[in-house]
Chain A
Amino acid sequence: MGSSGTWQLYSVLVGGLGTLAIFSFLIKENPLYRFFEHLFIGIAAGLGPMLVIRDFLWPTILAPMFGDNVTAFPDGTLSEPYQPLYLLYIVPMLFGCLYYFIYSRRNAWLAKIVIGFTLGASGALAIRGFFGEVLPQIFGSFKPLVVLSEAGGFEIVESLNNIIFVATLLLVLNYFFFTFGREGSVQGKAAPLGRPLLMVCFGAFFGSTVMARLALLVERVQFISDDWLSAVRVLFGLG
């Protein structure tokens, strides 16, 4: 096994030990579990900022500012003229630094400027996002309640499905409609009908959630029974 293979072996062994340490929490909370838990948080916290710098701040912001995207050709000409306008990136960067005033008791309001700015941007984006997502959803809800085949025949199954779909949609929407007082009105009387339909939806959710959670367990057991045990065998010269 070459050097690269040795590293890989250690990587699998460490991963397996870490997995078992995390699984030991199922027996009871213990120092080993907490150790690996903290190690995980530390690595995740260290990785995030570095990737933002490596994959965004340097190549997209800083490199053009420093002219690193401009190449000098062998005849002395440049691949593109240096754009001094890139220096304007300093403005959002300095503006973003206002976040750090959150630690200042006296000037914490400066951090609120950039937080407000970001909230404003997110708000406006959300307005756009709403229309991008919801309009097709609304249009998709206009279903014909009587579906006719091309030959003019009545498509009973599809019609029934559409009727159930539209009725469910309206009843559940009505269930969550609290704007006006609804005691005694038709809307109020129809509201309880939405509940059982919601329960069907939540049941589907529960069934799917079970599958998602079990899949995570399956993947880990596979790692332990397949990769890790093989690595252990190699370590002890059994494989």
Chain B
Amino acid sequence: MQGRRLIYLAMIVAVAVPMLLGWSLQPQRLVTAERMYDVVEGVQVEPGEVAVVWFDFGPGTMAENEPQAQVLLEHLFRRRIPVVLLSQYQQAEAALQSIPRDVATRLEREMPGQRWSYGEAWVNGGFRPGGSIFIQALVNAPDVSKFLGREVGGMPIAQYPAFAKIGGVERVKLVGHITGLTGVFDTIIQFFQKADYRPTLVHGCTSITIPEAYIFLDSGQLKGLLEGIAGAAWYSEVLKQHFPQSNNTKLLVVNTALSSAHLVLIGLIVLGNLIALKDWLRRRHG
């Protein structure tokens, strides 16, 4: 019992020390994040065309999904691609409101004189229950903005000029899905398509679902992937390479703390095996 508590303490210390000391190491290069950057960079929108980004995460997975949502939105905002934010998950309300606002504020501070305002850079469509039924209806709707109706503040989405003439789902040039819920991700994979339309889909997943997400990358159903915090950290590095003013220090500190915790955990596995080996040798020799 005491030993277990020591392990708990070791883990908490391993995480806390780099954070309190503000250590920040260069994140590991992840090819998937680079590919996703290129995909987002390659999206070209005409007036009226948009990106749809789903925030399907709540407190349970925000540790990984929030940084992913931030870097994806930062890139889309820098590229001035209008974003419709939606969620199938009722616990995402706080993320839907705070993340785009924070990213916009950060960019406005970075580039005085430029604005990323609500209704132009993004619109919050809010929580939409119904899962696959809702997505099927959305994909088949003749006009996405009319189908979505009002945003969370009560304004019809079509009243915002940037989102007034979306038309059919074909004019959604990028679909981003940030979630740790595989069932919810499945609804997008399975239903966000039509006979003549397959979206350019990028996905931010929690680490636990990375091995699963790779099968969709391989089949081409996914065009880009952010793998947990590490993926977000490398994406932020790529953003920084292209936009040197971009500030990702906080994310790098978190990523470093994560590395430190990994090392302690690997050490624990090795230690556990050494103890087991020692016991086995002792038993064997009497």
Contacts and interface: CB of A to CB of B under 8 A. Distances in A.
Interface string B124-168: 001111101100100000000000011000000000000000000
A183 interface: no
Contact of A140 (B127, B206, B218, B261): B218
Given A212-B206, A217-B15, A225 B219 contact: no
B207 A212 contact: yes
A211 B16 contact: no
B63 A218 contact: yes
B223 to A, nearest CB: 13
Interface string A121-162: 100010011101100110110000000000000000000000
B64 to A, nearest CB: 5
Contact of A59 (B8, B133, B150, B209): B150
A24 B40 CA distance: 43
A230 to B, nearest CB: 13
A214 B12 CA distance: 10
Contacts of A60: 149
Measured as residues with beta carbon below 8 angstroms from the partner, the interface class of chain B is 35 or more
Given A52-B90, A216-B63, A218-B258, A132 B189 contact: yes
B258 A215 contact: yes
A138 to B, nearest CB: 9
Contacts of A219: 62-63, 254
A99 to B, nearest CB: 16
A48 B129 CA distance: 11
Interface string B1-34: 0000100100110011001100000000000000
A210 B257 contact: no
Nearest to B20: A225
A208 B229 CA distance: 11
Interface residues of A, number: 42
Given A140-B218, A221-B15, A132 B190 contact: yes
Interface in B45-74: 60-64
A214 B208 contact: no
Contact of B127 (A51, A137, A208, A209): A51
A75 interface: no
Contacts of B261: 214, 217-218
B189 A52 contact: no
Contacts of B5: 26-27
B221 interface: yes
Contacts of B265: 210, 214
Interface of B is mostly: helix
Interface in A211-233: 211-222, 225-226
B257 A56 contact: no
A133 B186 contact: yes
Contact of A128 (B60, B190, B257): B190
A221 B90 contact: no
B207 A51 contact: no
A8 to B, nearest CB: 12
A221 B257 contact: yes
B15 A137 contact: no
A217 B63 CA distance: 8
B211 A201 contact: yes
Nearest to A23: B12
Nearest to A226: B19
Contacts of B267: none
Contact of B219 (A136, A204, A220, A222): A136
Given A52-B90, A56-B129, A136-B219, A215 B190 contact: no
A168 B45 CA distance: 41
B248 interface: no
B230 interface: yes
Nearest to A122: B132
A53 B257 CA distance: 41
B215 A137 contact: yes
A212 B19 contact: no
B139 to A, nearest CB: 11
A30 to B, nearest CB: 14
B63 A125 contact: no
B115 interface: no
Nearest to A48: B90
User: Which 4 A-B pairs rank lowest in CB-CB distance, beginning with the nearest?
Assistant: A140-B219, A219-B63, A129-B190, A211-B207
Given A125-B136, A133-B221, A214-B261, 18 more contacts: A51-B127, A60-B149, A128-B190, A133-B189, A133-B190, A139-B219, A140-B218, A208-B207, A208-B209, A211-B228, A211-B230, A212-B64, A214-B258, A214-B265, A215-B229, A215-B258, A221-B16, A222-B19
7 contacts: A125-B136, A129-B191, A139-B219, A210-B207, A214-B15, A215-B63, A218-B63
